[in-house]
């Protein structure tokens, strides 16, 4: 099994962002382990110990249901994202995997109009090695603001 060095973790982070920005949302759950956890929560909520943020998926099934909603059920204006993700800071590697964080800026681009800074924040990840390569066991998206403009349908 491959080692989880900073370069491997960064490649995972960049491929993740690139897939979402390229509208390959169907592949989004595949960046996680089958039981992977994905949450989007504000730093203010984390400080208060809130259990609920704006999105929480436990496992790839819930993520695929999100993708299904995005493609087939939910009504929203077409738009896309552009992620800018910093180089990762790696924490200590434990038995479970390696913890890593990275800052991000996320622009939202509607059909017309200029790109707007939609969200900023930090990824707080637990990355594990799998036979298929590095995967997120946990990806917590910590938003800098408590406010979300209009709606959040495409994962961050």
Partner 1 sequence: MNLDAYGLGGDAFNQADYRLYTDPEIARQEQDRIFEGPAWCFVGLEVELPKAGDYKTSWVGALPVILVRGQDGELRAMVNRCTHKGSTIVFDGEGCAERFVCPYHNWYYDLEGNLTAVAFGNGIKGQGGMPAAFDKRAHGLRRLRVATIAGLVFVSAAEQGPELEDYLGTRIAHHIRRTLGRGLVVLGQYTQVMHNNWKLYMENTRDSYHASLLHVFFTTFRLNRLDMAGGMAVGENGWNTLSYTQGTQKFNDEAYADARALNTDIKLQDPSLVANWPEFEDGIVSSITSVFPSLIMQQISNSLAVRQLVPKGPDKCELVWTLLGTVEDTPAQTGMRVKQSNLVGPAGLVSMEDGIIGNFVQRSIASARGERTVMRMGGDGVVSQESRVTEAGVRAFWKAYRAHMEPA
Which C-beta is closer to partner 1: that of 27 or that of 146?
146
Q: In what helix (H) or strand (E) does residue 66 lie, and over which residues does it extend?
A: helix 60-68
Q: Interface with partner 1 includes 13 (CB under 8 A)? A: no
Where does this chain touch partner 1 (CB under 8 A) — which range of 3-11, 19-27, 85-93, 141-149?
141-149
Does position 61 interact with partner 1 (CB under 8 A)? The reply is yes
Q: What is the dihedral of CA 34, 127, 25, 78, to 10 degrees?
A: 130
Does 54 engage in binding with partner 1 (CB under 8 A)? yes
- Between 30 and 65, CB nearer to partner 1: 65
Phi-psi region of 51 (alpha: psi -120 to 50; beta: other; left: phi over 0): alpha
Choice from 21, 56, 93, 122 touching partner 1 (CB under 8 A): 56
Tell me if 40 contacts partner 1 by CB under 8 A. Answer: yes
- Report the DSSP pairing between strands 32-42 and 55-58: antiparallel
Residue 35: is it exposed, middle or buried by C-beta count within 10 angstroms (0-12/13-18/19+)? exposed
Site residues, partner 1 (CB under 8 A): 40-42, 44-45, 48, 50-59, 61-62, 64-66, 68-69, 72-77, 146-153
């Amino acid at each position: 099994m491959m080692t989880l060095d900073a370069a491997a973790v960064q490649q995972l982070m960049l491929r993740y962002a690139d897939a979402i920005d390229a509208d390959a949302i169907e592949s989004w759950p595949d960046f996680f382990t089958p039981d992977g956890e994905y949450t989007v929560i504000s730093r203010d909520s984390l400080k208060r110990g809130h259990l609920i943020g704006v999105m929480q998926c436990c496992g790839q099934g819930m993520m695929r249901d999100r993708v299904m909603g995005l493609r087939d059920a939910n009504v929203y204006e077409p738009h896309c994202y552009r992620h800018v993700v910093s180089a990762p800071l790696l924490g200590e590697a434990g038995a479970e995997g390696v913890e890593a964080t990275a800052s991000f800026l996320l622009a939202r681009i509607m059909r017309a109009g200029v790109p707007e800074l939609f969200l900023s924040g930090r990824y707080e990840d637990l990355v594990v090695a799998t036979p298929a390569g590095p995967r997120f066991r946990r990806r917590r998206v910590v938003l800098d603001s408590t406010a979300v403009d209009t709606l959040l349908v495409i994962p961050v």
